[in-house]
């Protein structure tokens, strides 16, 4: 089958690479337009675009997925199947175009954690298991018939980065399995069950990243893990924003008010919660670079 691949970040690169290694015929790649990023606002290409160009694949970068010129260009490739991994919501004119349909790889065990940030929310909610699912696109986002899924455990200290890397690799192989099954015609999708127990994974905003120290140690620890390394949980320390990348929980009775920082200025910096402390291990204070707690304490004294 001829395939058009759609994706943008590093997570999608592993899937595209797996398809090419498996000998699948990828005729074009659709990815996000180049955009300025970083302090210098230099124009950056997406990870998928860089990989596609290295492998001599045609690249399309529409700003508007409903643009008639883009639709016509897409149609000119006469693809049998479209594969979507970490891309944007597609209009029906796009996802309904190929005869074999459009499939999506999602980083959760659907129907749980539909939405833009399934990896983050699974850890933030304290889940002990996650996985990946492939499904056929239809009108409502992340609701199409499930084709395959595969589980993986979430370890107690896993961060969003750890789970991202696990699911990226598992998902790439599951996608190859799905494409082959579609080619052989021996796959039937299973409708997603709908019930009141479904957890969602909406886009994370800055206010979602601020730590509420009135919550339990485990809840705060899960928040830090689930937002590391991006978009990163934060709090205030002596009026400055403190981003926390890694931490360690301590479950013990406390006398301090939740949110109170404590430090010996040599070996530890910790914050009180209602049932223990969060020890900061890896951080970034406002206007400084990311550093370990030992490096930070060399130049910091708690007032």
Give binding residues for (6S)-5,6,7,8-tetrahydrofolate as ranges: 108-111
Report yes or no: 35 and 108 within 8 Å, Cβ to Cβ.
Answer: no
Q: What element of type H or E holds 278?
A: strand 276-285
- List the one residue out of 120, 91, 116, 92 whose CA is nearest residue 106: 116
- Residue count (the chain): 303
Half-sphere exposure of 205 (CA within 13 A, CB side): 2
Q: What element of type H or E holds 269?
A: strand 269-273
- List the one residue out of 162, 165, 245, 234 whose CA is nearest residue 205: 234
In this structure, what token pair is assigned to residue 31?
A: 């990815």
Report yes or no: 190 and 159 within 8 Å, Cβ to Cβ.
Answer: no
Q: Please report, in range form, the residues annotated as the binding site.
A: 108-111
Dmax over Cα atoms in the chain, in whole Å?
69
């Amino acid at each position: 089958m001829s395939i058009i691949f759609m994706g943008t970040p590093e997570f999608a690169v592993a899937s595209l690479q797996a398809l090419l290694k498996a000998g699948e015929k990828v005729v074009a790649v659709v990815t996000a337009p180049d955009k300025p990023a970083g302090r210098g606002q230099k124009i950056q290409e997406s990870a998928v675009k860089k990989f596609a160009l290295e492998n001599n694949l045609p690249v399309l970068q529409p700003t508007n997925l409903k643009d008639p010129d883009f639709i016509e260009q897409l149609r000119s490739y006469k693809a049998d199947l479209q594969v979507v991994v970490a891309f944007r919501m597609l209009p029906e004119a796009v996802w309904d175009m190929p005869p074999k349909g459009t499939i999506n790889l999602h980083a959760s065990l659907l129907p749980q954690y539909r939405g833009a940030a399934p990896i983050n929310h699974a850890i933030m909610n304290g889940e002990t298991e996650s996985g990946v699912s492939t499904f056929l696109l239809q009108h409502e986002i992340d609701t199409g018939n499930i084709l395959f899924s595969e589980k993986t455990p979430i370890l107690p200290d896993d961060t969003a980065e750890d789970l991202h890397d696990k699911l990226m690799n598992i998902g790439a192989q599951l996608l190859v399995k799905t494409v082959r099954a579609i080619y052989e015609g021996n796959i039937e999708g299973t409708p997603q069950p709908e019930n009141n127990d479904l957890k969602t994974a909406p886009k994370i905003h800055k206010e979602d990243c601020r730590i509420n120290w009135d919550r339990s140690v485990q809840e705060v620890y899960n928040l830090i893990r689930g937002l590391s390394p991006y978009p990163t949980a934060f709090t205030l320390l002596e009026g400055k924003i403190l981003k926390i990348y890694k931490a360690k929980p301590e479950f013990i009775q406390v006398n301090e008010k939740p949110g109170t920082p404590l430090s010996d200025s040599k070996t530890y910096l910790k914050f009180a919660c209602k049932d223990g402390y969060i020890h900061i291990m890896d951080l970034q204070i406002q206007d400084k670079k990311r550093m370990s707690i030992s490096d930070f304490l060399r130049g910091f004294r708690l007032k």
